[in-house]
Structure 1
Amino acid sequence: MALVGLAMVLGGGGTVNPQTEMVLQVLTALILIPLVTSSSWQRGLGPVQVPAMLLAGLVLVVPILQLVPLPPSTWQALPGRAIETQSLALIQADKSWMPLTMSPARTFASLLATICPVLLMLQVSRLSLRGRNWLCSVIVGVAVLSLAVGVLQLSRTAGLEWSLYNQFSEGFLVGFQANRNAQADILLAAMLATGVLATARLGDGRNHGLTWTVLVLVIIGLLVGQFMTGSRTGITLSTIALAFILLMLWPMLRKRSTMLYGLAGSLGVLVVSGGLLMQLQSVQKVVARFSLVREARWDLWADTWYAIGQVWPFGSGIGTIVPMLEAAERLEVVDTTRPVRAHNDWLEWVLEAGLPGMIVLGAILLIIGYLIVRAIMSARKSDASASRRAQVLFAIGFLLIEALHAVVDYPMRSMSLAALTAVAVALLLEPAASQRSRQ
């Protein structure tokens, strides 16, 4: 719970704000020391499951191999290394052993950042069903707290911007993130986690009026916050989150027709309220972002694709997107801004990891696909609890949202979102058997 909460608060700075990520890495190590070394802290936890260990190895293998020193004859023969070879020759250092990555420091920093969510995935895979529900409560709690921070950001209370970072999406609700798109995904995760908690509460078959009321209010609050992030993709992906929440709750609805009427009424209220809110300048600014204008992402994709051709098939090294884009940027698109991401995680991975990375990514996706199928079959058994079914839907829904958002952004470059993704993958695995029977 502490690891998830800290990751959501301190892991949203990204490349341009590494200070909080360094603090998060140190705190992660300190928290894991008693969890790994003390038997009393491990009471109630199951063993680390084999699929989790396999995924952990696959995630870490690419940056580790890219840091292995290679003899001069090998690394100088790699594509895109001619200028580096000539530069080192000027100081008589061209005979040095060098790794595959073009920037060892950046790749090593990326490796350290990746270890945190990997360790979190391994530990969450050991939790019981009840322990995983507690993690969902942390996700909702931190997300709601980020909404409160966002209110301070938008109101500029006391003349302050209320952000942990010196570079962030000013004028939008970003909470503990430096990027409004990352905050949008945080709120989407919280919406799905709210569905899990509501399902656990409603699973006893009783009529919990207060639970339904709280559920609706929390979802509406998260939706409003989602809109104020100004993230177009995040707002669009909210429909997927709502669909998965409906799937969680559908088996427990006694009067489904009444529920559908209630949803229609709520939608009508949202439409009317939206029409009134359109008069606010802050709302108009968000709506204006949906205009059909040329996207800077298109130029970034073109430059990234060109850079891929320069280093194919071995890649440039994990974390090297900035120098690669700066070298590949066309003169006609150069301006005062600095390209820091490809705004397409899939494309950026191809650039940095090359063909070996694509093979590893394919293996990871196959394993996750297998886990999804197995989790669905397990959740559909007659003796499966409502909580287990909801957790599986949370995992599938959030992984789908991240995969789609990665087409136009870079959610996996945020330690906060990488940690939540690790939690989602771990939720696909069977809960610890020692406590599962009590649920």
Structure 2
Amino acid sequence: MSSAQAIKSSAQANRSEGRSSSGRSADKLPTLKTRPLPGTALCMVLVGLAMALGGGGTVNPQTEMVLQVLTALIMIPLFAGSEWQRGLGPVQAPALMLAGLILLIPVFQLIPLPPSLWHSLPGRSVEVQSLALIQADTSWMPLTMAPARTFASLLSMICPVLLLLQVSRLSLRGRNWLCIVVVGVAALSLALGVLQLSRTAGFEWSLYSQFSEGFLVGFQANRNAQADILLAAILATGVLATARLGDGRNHVLTWAGLMMTVLSFLVGLFMTGSRTGIALSSIALLFVGLMLWPMLRKRAAVLYGLAGTIGVVVISGGLLLQLQSVQKVIGRFSLMHEARWDLWADTWYAIGQVWPYGSGIGTIVPMLEAAERLEVVDTTLPVRAHNDWLEWLLEAGLPGAIVLGLILLVVAYLVVTAVISVSKSDASASRRAQVLFAIGFLLIEALHAIVDYPMRSMSLAALAAVAVAMLLNPAAPQRGRQ
């Protein structure tokens, strides 16, 4: 290569998106002066729609159906031409592996089986006897006890899986754009929550007919899901602040904005009334602290300022204790009459009835209704086990436990690899923050899943997919403005 060619190649590389002579411009926070490339923009729209429309749950499927249709429409441009793929690199192998593992169980459970096989499955005797009354017991039937419910669950998994694949293709700055979406949509949900609590104009201000009334739920139907949305927003705020502070300058307004934003999300988190969500806020704040610690110049002053802020929050909290809405939230911090213990006992009994093959993804409602003990029957209907890990064992059985173990092993490998990568002295501050975001959010979801069902929310499943994808190495930046 001649010297002229070498100079030309170097200039082209420096003009490429996210490149500079220092190699650090990809760390910069996207601004209104820049715009995302088409592929990045499509991912942003997917994340925003998933957060806004994916929170209905089993009892409010309408918005999730709209989300599934919109997801299919948004994916069309990615297959229509290469122009829409600008901003996206190749799909990474671990993302493909995880996508296949996630979809494996529901697909496997929908495969029709001959009568000689499905008749011998545990828990199917009543079904065999019922079908025999209409001479239909010789039909081929799948492993799942409720094919329609399992198929619906399979469809609901497609949006998070697509996000996992697409986000794995984004560059470092493209993933920062997603954090902007997370913070923005969470802020909108907070504003909607204010209307819900105030009942302005006499409206409930909820997207759903059934939701956690009297609490801040935003775009979600479940207050616990809204709590996790706000925790994700706190972590995403830390990522954006790191990108802003990475140039080494003193950003007083950035620090002030960070404190105000996090404090607003914490207040909203408290008003969700989610006990576990409030407790898990300590993990979110810890990971934000880990993101920002290398950015601090006068650490002692920051610690004093943090102590003062905590003091102000405590004093303000004492004054707010007189509000009825605040007392309502505090009143929830009691284990008296905790219904989860009964749900777990019934779920464990149901697991024994269908082990080792499981009852089918999405069959928790009929299984709990059949297993519910007479002494705990009341006017309410059980819709979830309030423990994602137990619910998965019931619906997926031993095959699901094996697949889940493989998924956890892959994710653990990605975590270790990512931590080693960002621990190097030349590692990007934004990359380190994104890895901490991913680990923090996945840890929060894993712990919350012990007492609730975050992975049954399409919104939270989509954010979990984004978090897993952020563990993968970012795609190489492309030429253009992003």
Q: Is the shorter-chain TM-score for this pair beyond 0.5, marking a shared fold?
A: yes
- Aligned partner letter, 2:415: I
Poorly superposed stretches of 4+, deviation over 4 Å: none
Determine whether 1:262 maps to 2:312.
no
* Distance in 1 of aligned mates of 2:301 and 2:371: 58
Determine whether 1:112 maps to 2:155.
yes
Aligned-residue offset at 1:45: 1.3
Determine whether 1:315 maps to 2:358.
yes
* Distance in 1 of aligned mates of 2:470 and 2:314: 35
Which has the higher Rg, Structure 1 or Structure 2?
2
Residue 226 of structure 2 aligns with which residue?
Answer: 183
**Contact residue 129 and residue 435 of structure 1 kept, 8 A:** no
Residue 102 of structure 2 aligns with which residue?
Answer: 59
- CA displacement, residues 240-276 of structure 1 (integer Å, 9 cap, x when unaligned): 0000000000001001111111111111011100100
Residue from 440, 448, 458 that aligns with 1:415? 458
Aligned-residue offset at 1:434: 3.4
Residue 33 of structure 2 aligns with which residue?
Answer: none
Residue from 43, 61, 70 that aligns with 2:86? 43
* Distance in 2 of aligned mates of 1:368 and 1:301: 27
**Contact residue 172 and residue 477 of structure 2 kept, 8 A:** no
* Distance in 1 of aligned mates of 2:423 and 2:54: 35
**Contact residue 60 and residue 114 of structure 1 kept, 8 A:** yes
**Contact residue 9 and residue 176 of structure 1 kept, 8 A:** yes
Residue 208 of structure 1 aligns with which residue?
Answer: 251
Determine whether 1:236 maps to 2:236.
no
Determine whether 1:354 maps to 2:397.
yes
Residue 470 of structure 2 aligns with which residue?
Answer: 427
Aligned residue for 2:477, secondary structure, equals helix
Determine whether 1:221 maps to 2:269.
no
* Distance in 2 of aligned mates of 1:374 and 1:89: 55
- Aligned partner letter, 1:178: A
* Distance in 2 of aligned mates of 1:76 and 1:268: 65
Aligned-residue offset at 1:69: 0.1
Identity of aligned residues (%): 82
Residue from 144, 148, 151 that aligns with 2:194? 151
* Distance in 2 of aligned mates of 1:246 and 1:381: 19
Structure 2 gap segments, 5+ residues each: 1-43
* Distance in 2 of aligned mates of 1:111 and 1:209: 48
- Aligned partner letter, 1:275: G
- Aligned partner letter, 1:182: A
Aligned-residue offset at 1:36: 2.9
Residue from 197, 209, 213 that aligns with 1:166? 209
Residue 15 of structure 1 aligns with which residue?
Answer: 58
* Distance in 2 of aligned mates of 1:242 and 1:45: 31
* Distance in 1 of aligned mates of 2:257 and 2:304: 18
Task: Map 1:78-89; keep pairs closer than 5 Å.
Answer: 78-89=121-132
Aligned-residue offset at 1:435: 4.4
Aligned-residue offset at 1:37: 2.8
Residue from 37, 43, 49 that aligns with 1:6? 49
* Distance in 2 of aligned mates of 1:44 and 1:227: 38
User: How does the TM-score come out when normalised to structure 1?
Assistant: 0.99
Residue 364 of structure 1 aligns with which residue?
Answer: 407
* Distance in 2 of aligned mates of 1:362 and 1:380: 27
* Distance in 2 of aligned mates of 1:147 and 1:181: 14
Aligned CA RMSD, in angstroms, stands at 1.2
* Distance in 1 of aligned mates of 2:161 and 2:424: 30
Aligned residue for 1:271, secondary structure, equals helix
Residue 26 of structure 1 aligns with which residue?
Answer: 69
User: How does the TM-score come out when normalised to structure 2?
Assistant: 0.90
- CA displacement, residues 132-165 of structure 1 (integer Å, 9 cap, x when unaligned): 0000000000000000000000000010000000
Residue 139 of structure 1 aligns with which residue?
Answer: 182
Determine whether 1:390 maps to 2:433.
yes
Aligned residue for 1:433, secondary structure, equals coil
**Contact residue 202 and residue 252 of structure 1 kept, 8 A:** yes
Aligned-residue offset at 1:292: 3.1
* Distance in 2 of aligned mates of 1:220 and 1:150: 15
* Distance in 1 of aligned mates of 2:337 and 2:198: 31
* Distance in 1 of aligned mates of 2:288 and 2:465: 20
- CA displacement, residues 211-264 of structure 1 (integer Å, 9 cap, x when unaligned): 000000000000000000000000000000000000000001001111111111
Residue 196 of structure 1 aligns with which residue?
Answer: 239
* Distance in 1 of aligned mates of 2:186 and 2:465: 17
- Aligned partner letter, 2:346: D
- Aligned partner letter, 2:253: L
* Distance in 1 of aligned mates of 2:383 and 2:370: 12
Residue 443 of structure 2 aligns with which residue?
Answer: 400
* Distance in 1 of aligned mates of 2:334 and 2:97: 44
- Aligned partner letter, 1:320: T
- CA displacement, residues 181-219 of structure 1 (integer Å, 9 cap, x when unaligned): 000000000000000000000001000000000000000
- Aligned partner letter, 1:154: L
**Contact residue 241 and residue 258 of structure 2 kept, 8 A:** yes
